[in-house]
A = this chain, B = another copy of it.
């Protein structure tokens, strides 16, 4: 770059780096959003041509986007059949939560061990956000999003990027399950509260307490979510 005196941007660049991710990522985001908003139901086929036509582009980027979504578990690919929205079962959700407990227990232990100076304020801010969306009565998607962001921060702060990578891979599937249920807690304010003990334990630097707190937190969600989902399954196919 020229412009060494910053004549164009007197106080640094004023624009967001303007997503250098190409068309494929945008398509992937659009699809993910559509799936998680329930506009495309689980099990439905993702017709490449239809999507491409709707979005006004060719099939190539749509295919690549679908492959991307496949690796985050939102979509399943069958050779010569195409892409299908991943179906969710209560059993799969249970497995997912069991796995999340394993990951996040380890992540939070490392987070506490490292001191968590950077992460703690972020967690507090995210907790405030959780209260805010609860107060404002925002829709399900926002609430789930805010919750997952909180847990993502824990994985991010673990110091081992691998935890974050894997968390991101399974995050969408979790979101999908939660949104399918339609409501997570009857009282979203109560749901926000359940994050308090986690933060307290981290702040206190008590590793065991933190692990127990996250264990209890996710474990509670696990039984609740799986129970709710089982009811949903029974209602759909008795």
A106 at the interface (CB under 8 A from B): yes
Chain B proximity mask over A91-120: 1 for CB below 8 Å, otherwise 0: 000011011001100100000000000000
Chain B proximity mask over A8-42: 1 for CB below 8 Å, otherwise 0: 00000000000011100100000000000000000
Chain B proximity mask over A155-184: 1 for CB below 8 Å, otherwise 0: 000001111001001100000000000000
Q: How far is the CB of A84 from chain B (nearest CB, A)?
A: 16
Which chain B residues border A99 with CB–CB below 8 Å?
160, 162-163, 166
CB-based contact B96/A162 at 8 Å = yes
**With A67-B67, A79-B21, A103-B102 given, is the CB distance from A95 to B162 under 8 Å?**
yes
A64 at the interface (CB under 8 A from B): yes
Residues of A within 8 A of B (CB): 20-22, 25, 60, 63-64, 67-68, 70-71, 79-80, 95-96, 98-99, 102-103, 106, 160-163, 166, 169-170
Q: List 14 A-B contacts (CB under 8 A).
A: A20-B80, A21-B79, A60-B60, A63-B64, A67-B67, A67-B68, A70-B71, A95-B161, A98-B160, A99-B162, A99-B163, A102-B106, A166-B169, A169-B169
